[in-house]
Chains A and B, each alone.
Chain A
Amino acid sequence: MSARNRELVGLIPATLLVTAGFAAVFIQRSNVLSNVSLTYGAIFLGLCLGAHLVIRATLPYADPYLFPLVAALACFGLVMVYRIDPAEARRQAIWFVIGLILFAGTIVAFRDYRKLERYRYTIVAVSLLILVLPRVPGLGQYTNGAYLAVKVPGLGGFQPEEFAKIGLVVFLASYLRDTRQVLVTGGHRFLGLTIPPIKHFGPILVIWGVAMATMVLLSDMGSSLMLYGGLLAMLYVATGRVSFVVVGLLAFALGAWYLGTHISHVHARVEVWLHTLNPHLYHATLGSYQVANGIFAQAAGGMFGQGFGEAVITFPGSNPVIHLIPAPETDMIYAVIADELGLFGAAALLVVYLLFIARGFKAAVMARDSFSTLLAVGLSAVIAIQVFVIVGGVTRVIPLTGVTLPFVSYGGSSIVANFVLLALLLLVSDRARRPVTR
């Protein structure tokens, strides 16, 4: 079977998932199986088919599993968001369409994605600039003690870090391609550690600084962790030096420790993480209410979950709606998934992400040039770390910081940016798998 036909078959699970999911939600909501659920299923099948045809026409050799995996995640996310708030699901569906348009646009515009290298300094400058936009007075949106979004009239919040992460990965892939040899061999050794030449290492220090600044200025630990983690992953793959990663992690830990003890907002997050079920903290402003209820929701799910549409998310009959699980469609969506589908459903979701990352890394391994390899590694790693940051926050592996669960959470910026990211991965993969004989 050709790659594209495998991809087409791979879309079947996603389609079944979205149809079954909507059907379950409808049954739960009104005890009737409305044909609307089938309509939804048909629409998303149509959209996925459209995207598949774009890939078929433009990227015949691209990895056949990446898109079906994303389609499964996105369809699953859509069902979850629909189950939480039908109005948001409609907006999400629109973003889904816009995301697919940009996806197609990216593929067409960057058939030869290596021309991105030419604009690497522009890209990094723009990325860093938009990253701090939320802090600009009048532009930024202050949510739960952090500057996470830029207000866009008519569209709601625009979350720049979702796009900035792609820009930074592109820059680093290009920069590290040029400097990775120098970083390893060019420096002098000190105490068994290779100290790379400052001239080449400088830009990386800048990124570290930006990640830290993001944390301080925007109080946005989640994005900073995601960007910094992506940086370290690419640095390691480029140089093979564990010492860089260790030093990098130590530097980050130092920064995080300083912020955790000196910035009240960050400190509060750490306290919430450590003492989630403390009644005093539970009732405090910016306290542990959200994290604790996320944990309670997971406990309610148990091994197999309560079933689609069965989780208790809002206080019944409350008007205006009082959320028992705050931000159920964004930050806490993993808790809702665990509540409704249990440990098995949540673990299955993690496995889908791992498969996606594995396919991304596969493209990186198969790529024939360092830039492509580093680009694919960076894009996949950023997704992996983003999943870890948000799921880790919800499950109390680390303090909760607000980033989206890629392709699943509600959020226009996130959906659109991640479809662009997918387009780039498919571009790399297509070039890598293209037969050499021409």
Chain B
Amino acid sequence: MSAQITRLFAVIVVLFALLAVFTTRWTVIDASSLNNNSLNSLTLVSQLKIKRGQLLADDGTSLARSVPAGGGTWKRAYPTSSLFAQAVGYSNLTAGSAAGLELSDGNYTRGLQTGLNSIFGQLTPTRVGDDVHTTLDPKAQQAAKQALGGQAGSVVALNPRTGAVLAMYSNPSYDDNNPTSCAAPNCSLLNRATQARYAPGSTFKIVTAVAAIDSGLYTPDSVINGNSPITVSGVPLANDGGTSWGPQTLTTAMINSINTIFAQVAERVGIPTMTKYMKRFGFYSVPPLDYPPAEMRPSDVYSPTTGKLLRPGSPDEDLGRIGIGEGGVSTTPLQMAMVAAAVANGGKLMVPHFTSRVVNSDGVTVKTITPSVYSQVMSPTTAQEVTQMMTKVVEEGTGTAVQLSGISVAGKTGTASIGANGLNLTQPSFVAFAPAQDPKVAIAVTVDQSQGGFGGTVAAPIAKAVLQTLLAEGK
């Protein structure tokens, strides 16, 4: 019987080899696709066991950190809570939800950026992620929160030379430690700075002026008739208060925010050129910010009659009204801050970013984000001329409320009418940078709704508070 026993053993060896082959299939060959299978919650749980790194403000304030959640797992805690909620966001792996920087910088904080960690990670009892240093400034953020007070709206401050986001506050905010309990009206997950659709109003005149001057069609001293009303796209358009200004230079038109002049200028510049400059400023694209694309919207133009999104350069645009920030043009505060930053940085628009560097648990910097150029929007000369026009707005025009002692500020007010006629509801906004000749901060402030308030009276003081804070810090 021993021959049979040998053969039987051979059969058993073959059967066991089959087991080894299938084990190899699951552990090695198909492993990565299985690990990424949507049904696989083991991957999720093993991620819960990673002690993710902190998100830090530029002064070292902890914006997000990991705290023990039992069973060797970790959960995220947000010490600054509602102050940075929209920017920082949240990450709740168990619920499968994440937002803000917690989502976009998740690969850094999980330590997935450095291959070293994942190879030797198995030897250490806890896997530790990397710390992410951001450019956010808690003092400026606090100033923005305080200045906005109870008003819904948002503040975005950028460093025009690097694109660093210094402040991004959206009101109402929420407690990112507990995003699910957020309920209107005193709480909102919406990041108005990147997601809200605002009519920019007269702040958009900066874009019109840049297109007009940089294309060579106008100079700051070009004289245009500022009578009111005029007919634009077959419908009468009036200046604020119905004032007929007569012939005025483009600079004066900027200082006094003369609608009829900018409408004429925009119509003469034409749709293709306006579209070209808007694209250079970043319009029509999701902002290039290191932030979840799902939480940003592009700034673009909607048809005022049908409410539908118009394609870039569509002949259906009411260009005259777009030139004064109406006519369906819809922007985010981030976009308007980018407009100010481009002018401030000699016409060169830097890519905005939150992340400055990634430091691993041993204190070694594993990645540094270097500033990069998004586009050269205009020539340095144009930038200088538009800066002068904007400086005069603050010195003698609609933006005097933002004046700082000893520092010249370049700015532009905006006051868009919203709601039904007769309600006298406005959407005040203000776009500025300072110091005008050596810009360190570019800022955009938008307040959702005001009872008859103006950009120069409602939004400008908020911008002033944040500018003051940042400049006092030497930013």
B30 contacts which of A31, A299, A314, A347 (Cβ < 8 Å)?
A299
Contact A296 B34 (CB under 8 A): yes
**List of A residues within 8 angstroms of B1 by Cβ:** 237-238, 240, 364, 370, 373-374, 377
Residue of B nearest to A362 (CB): B5
Most buried by A among B2, B3, B5: B5
Residues of B within 8 A of A237 (CB): 1, 4-5, 8
Residue ID in chain A nearest B2 by CB atoms: A365
**Alpha-carbon gap, A27 to B39, bound state (A):** 31
A 216-248 to B, binary, CB cutoff 8 A, 1 in contact else 0? 000000000000000001001110100000000
Q: Does A138 contact B (CB under 8 A)?
A: no
Tell me which residues from 341 to 372 in chain A have a Cβ below 8 Å from any Cβ of chain B: 342-343, 346-347, 350, 353-354, 357-358, 361, 364-365, 370
**Can you name 28 A-B pairs with beta carbons within 8 Å?**
A27-B125, A237-B5, A240-B4, A277-B37, A293-B42, A298-B26, A299-B34, A300-B42, A301-B27, A303-B27, A307-B122, A314-B71, A315-B41, A316-B48, A317-B73, A324-B41, A346-B20, A346-B23, A350-B23, A357-B9, A361-B8, A384-B12, A387-B16, A388-B12, A392-B18, A395-B19, A396-B22, A396-B26
Q: Which residues of A contact B18 (CB under 8 A)?
A: 392, 397
Instruction: Give complex CA distance A277, B33 in Å.
Output: 11
List A contacts of B15 (CB < 8 A).
384, 388, 392
Q: A395-B22, A395-B26 are in contact. Are A312 and B42 (CB under 8 A)?
A: yes
Contact residues in B for A350 (Cβ distance below 8 Å): 16, 19-20, 23
Report yes or no: B19 in contact with A391, Cβ–Cβ below 8 A: yes
Chain A CB within 8 A of B353 CB: no
Instruction: Check: A70 CB closer than 8 A to any chain B CB.
Output: no
How far apart sit A370 and B2, CA to CA, in the bound complex (Å)? 11
Count of B interface residues, CB-CB < 8 Å: 44
Consensus secondary structure, chain B interface: helix
B45 at the binding interface (Cβ < 8 Å): yes
What residue of chain B has the Cβ atom nearest to residue A377's Cβ?
B5
* CB–CB A361/B5 < 8 A: yes
- Measured between beta carbons, the chain A residues less than 8 angstroms from B71 are 314, 316-317
Smallest CB gap from B73: residue in A: A316
Chain B residue with minimal CB distance to A289?
A: B39
Residues in chain B near residue A293, CB distance under 8 A: 42
CB atoms of B26 and A299 under 8 A apart: yes
Not counting A317-B70, A377-B5, a sample of 13 additional A-B residue pairs whose C-beta atoms are within 8 angstroms of each other reads A28-B125, A236-B4, A237-B1, A279-B39, A296-B39, A299-B27, A300-B42, A307-B122, A316-B45, A338-B26, A353-B16, A357-B12, A387-B19
Within the complex, what minimum Cβ distance (angstroms) separates B102 from chain A? 20
A-B CB proximity, top 8 nearest = A316-B71, A299-B34, A395-B22, A298-B26, A316-B73, A299-B31, A343-B27, A312-B45
Complex: A300 Cα to B31 Cα, angstroms: 7
Q: How far is the CA of A310 from the CA of B124 in the complex (A)?
A: 11
The 8 Å CB contact of B35, one of A236, A299, A395, is A299
Q: Is B28 an interface residue (CB 8 A)?
A: yes
A292 within 8 A of B: yes
Please determine whether A324 and B42 come into contact, CB atoms closer than 8 angstroms: yes
A157 at the interface (CB under 8 A from B): no
Give the chain B neighbours of A317 by CB distance below 8 A.
69-71, 73
Q: Given that A296-B34, A392-B18 are contacting pairs, would A381 and B8 also be in contact in the complex, using a CB cutoff of 8 Å?
A: yes
Q: Determine which of B19, B31, B37, B49 lies in contact with A388 in the assembled complex, contact meaning CB atoms within 8 Å.
A: B19
Cα distance, A347 to B28, chains bound together (Å): 13
Write the nearest CB–CB distance from A124 to chain B, whole angstroms.
22
Give B169-203 as 1s and 0s: 1 = Cβ < 8 Å from A's Cβ atoms. 00000000000000000000000000000000000
Answer whether residue B72 sits at the interface, using C-beta atoms and an 8 A cutoff: yes
User: For the complex, what is the distance from the CA of A373 to the CA of B5, rounded to whole Å?
Assistant: 9
A121 within 8 A of B: no
Chain A contact surface mostly: helix
A381, B15: Cα distance in complex, Å: 12
Q: Smallest CB–CB gap between A218 and chain B, Å?
A: 24
Distance in angstroms from B93 CB to nearest chain A CB is 10
In angstroms, Cα B24 to Cα A295, docked, is: 11
* Complex: chain A residue closest to B72, CB-CB: A316
Q: In angstroms, how far is the closest chain A Cβ from the Cβ of B309?
A: 35
Contact A296 B40 (CB under 8 A): yes
Find the residue from B3, B9, B15, B37 having the highest chain A CB count within 10 A.
Answer: B9
B217 interfacial contact with A, CB 8 Å: no
B39 near A292: Cβ-Cβ < 8 Å: yes
* Given A240-B4, A370-B1, residue A302 in contact with residue B49 (CB < 8 A): no
* A346–B27 CB distance below 8 A: yes
A23 in contact (CB, < 8 A): no
Q: Which residue of chain B lies nearest to A288 when distances are taken between CB atoms in the complex?
A: B39
**Cα distance A362–B30 in the bound complex, in angstroms:** 38
Decide if A306 is an interface residue (CB 8 Å cutoff).
yes
A144-B14 Cα distance, complex, nearest whole Å = 31
Q: Does A297 sit within 8 A of B, measured CB to CB?
A: yes
Min CB–CB distance B96 → chain A (angstroms): 14
The reply on A113 being an interface residue by CB < 8 A is no
B233 at the interface (CB under 8 A from A): no
Map CB proximity to B onto A392-433 as digits: 1 under 8 Å, 0 otherwise. 100111000000000000000000000000000000000000
Within 8 Å by CB of B3, from A240, A310, A364, A392, lies A240
Contact, CB under 8 Å: B42 / A343? no
B366 at interface (Cβ–Cβ under 8 A)? no
At the interface, yes or no: B13 with Cβ under 8 Å from chain A? yes
**Across the interface, which residues of A come within 8 angstroms of B12, CB to CB?**
354, 357, 381, 384, 388
Residues in A whose Cβ lies below 8 Å from that of B368? none
Report Cα–Cα, A236/B34, bound state, in Å: 40
Chain A residues near B285 (CB, 8 Å)?
none
A395 CB to nearest B CB, Å = 4
Output the residue of B3, B49, B125 with the most chain A CB within 10 A: B125
**Contacting pair B28 A343 (CB below 8 A):** yes
Asked if B5 contacts A347 (CB within 8 A), the reply is: no
A314 to B26, CA, bound (A): 20
Query: Does B49 lie within 8 Å of A312, measured CB to CB?
Result: yes
Is there contact, CB below 8 Å, between A365 and B5? Answer: yes
Report how far A357 CA is from B35 CA in the complex, Å.
Answer: 34
Q: Are B8 and A295 in contact (CB under 8 A)?
A: no
Given the known interface contacts A300-B43, A343-B28, A370-B1, the answer about A395 and B125 at a Cβ–Cβ threshold of 8 Å is no
Q: Can you name the residue of chain A whose Cβ is closest to the Cβ of B45?
A: A312
B314 within 8 A of A: no
B381 within 8 A of A: no
Asked whether, in the complex, the Cβ of A298 is within 8 Å of the Cβ of B23, the reply is yes
Question: How far, in whole Å, are A395 and B30 apart by their CA atoms in the complex?
Answer: 12
A329 and B73 CA atoms in complex are apart in Å by: 22
A142 within 8 A of B: no
A312 near B23: Cβ-Cβ < 8 Å: no
* A238 and B43 alpha carbons, distance in the complex (Å): 50
Q: Which chain A residues lie closer than 8 Å to B70 at the CB level?
A: 316-317
Residues of B within 8 A of A316 (CB): 45, 48-49, 69-73
